[in-house]
C-alpha cells in the first residue's frame, strides 16, 4: 500500500531477500583505537553483509577516534559521569569508477563512575559497545540516504548519471580517510 503513494522505506528488503546495502558494499579497512576497532568491525558486519556470490560495487573504509569528556564533577573535583564520543570519517570507494563518496558520523553515550572499579570498567566497556553500534547505524543510514538521493551511485550499467553522488573525488589516493582526531582518549577538563 505504501508503494502506491511513492513511499519506499529505506530499510526495505529487495526481491532477492537482501537488505539494501548488502548487495553492494564490502567493509574494508577500519582504523580506530585498539579497543574500539573490533567493536566497530562487528557492528558494521552485522549491518552490512555482502551476499554470497555477489560482487562488491563499493568498498567502505572508516577512520574513528574516541573522546571522553567529564560530564558531572562533584564539589571535591571527583568525576562521577563521563560523556563518551566516537567520531568517524568514512569513505565509500566505487570499485568500478574509482570515485569516492565521503562523510562523517558520530555517536555519543555516557557512563557513570562509581566506587567499584569493576563496575566503572564494565560501564565504560558498555558505553564503547553502544557507541560503536550507534556509529555503525549512523554510517549505514547516511549511506542509504546517499543511495536514495543519488540513484546513480549504485554503479549499474543502466545508470546514465554523470556523477556518483555528492562530494566525489576523481581518484582514490589513500587507503583510509583522513583521521578526525588522535587515537587516544582525551579527558577534557572544564574549570
User: In the 3-class helix/strand/coil scheme, how is 80-126 assigned residue by residue?
Assistant: EEEEEEEEEEEEEEECCCCCEEEEEEEEEEEEECCCCHHHHHHHHHH
Of residues 182 and 80, more confidently modeled: 80
Residue 56: pLDDT band with limits 50, 70, 90: confident
Q: Is the pLDDT score of 39 beyond 80?
A: yes
Residue 119 is predicted with a pLDDT of 92
- CATH number 3.40.50 is the correct assignment for the domain at 17-67+88-109+132-188: no
Of all residues in the chain, the percent with pLDDT exceeding 70 is: 64
Q: Which residues of 82-95 are buried (b: 16+ CB within 10 A; e: fewer)?
A: bbbbbbbbbbbbbb
Radius of gyration of the chain (CA): 19
Task: Tell me the C-alpha to C-alpha distance, in Å, between residue 18 and each of 23, 40, 146, 149, 179.
Answer: 7, 22, 18, 20, 32
Residue 171: pLDDT band with limits 50, 70, 90: very low
Of the ranges 18-22, 112-116, 181-185, the best mean pLDDT one: 112-116
Task: Report if pTM > 0.75.
Answer: no
Please report which helix (H) or strand (E) contains residue 144, including its range: helix 117-149
Task: Tell me the C-alpha to C-alpha distance, in Å, between residue 180 and each of 88, 89, 131, 167.
Answer: 6, 6, 16, 17
Cell of 101: 563518496
Residue 146 is predicted with a pLDDT of 80
State the average pLDDT over residues 106-132.
Answer: 93
- Rounded distance, CA 68 to CA 151, Å? 38
Residue 76 is predicted with a pLDDT of 86
122-164 tens-digit pLDDT: 999 999 999 999 999 999 988 888 877 665 555 443 333 333 4
37-47 and 117-149 helices cross at what angle (nearest 10)? 40
Domain ranges for the chain, please list them.
17-67+88-109+132-188
Q: Is the pLDDT score of 57 beyond 60?
A: yes
Amino acid at each position: 500500500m505504501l508503494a502506491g503513494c511513492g513511499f519506499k522505506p529505506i530499510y526495505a528488503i529487495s526481491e532477492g531477500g537482501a537488505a539494501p546495502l548488502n548487495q553492494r558494499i564490502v567493509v574494508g579497512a577500519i582504523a580506530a583505537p585498539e579497543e574500539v576497532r573490533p567493536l566497530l568491525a562487528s557492528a558494521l558486519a552485522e549491518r552490512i553483509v555482502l551476499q554470497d556470490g555477489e560482487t562488491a560495487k563499493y568498498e567502505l573504509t572508516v577512520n574513528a577516534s574516541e573522546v571522553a569528556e567529564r560530564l558531572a564533577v562533584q564539589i571535591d573535583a571527583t568525576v562521577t559521569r563521563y560523556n563518551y564520543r566516537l567520531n568517524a570519517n568514512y569513505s565509500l570507494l566505487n570499485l568500478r569508477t574509482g570515485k569516492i563518496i565521503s562523510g562523517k558520523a558520530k555517536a555519543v553515550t555516557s557512563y557513570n563512575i562509581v566506587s567499584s572499579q569493576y563496575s566503572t570498567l564494565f560501564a565504560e566497556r558498555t558505553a564503547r559497545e553502544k557507541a560503536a553500534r550507534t556509529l555503525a547505524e549512523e554510517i549505514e543510514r547516511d549511506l542509504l540516504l546517499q543511495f536514495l538521493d543519488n540513484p546513480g551511485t549504485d554503479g549499474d550499467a543502466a545508470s546514465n548519471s554523470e556523477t556518483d553522488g555528492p562530494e566525489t573525488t576523481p581518484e582514490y589516493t589513500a587507503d583510509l580517510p583522513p583521521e578526525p582526531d588522535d587515537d587516544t582518549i582525551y579527558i577534557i577538563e572544564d574549570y
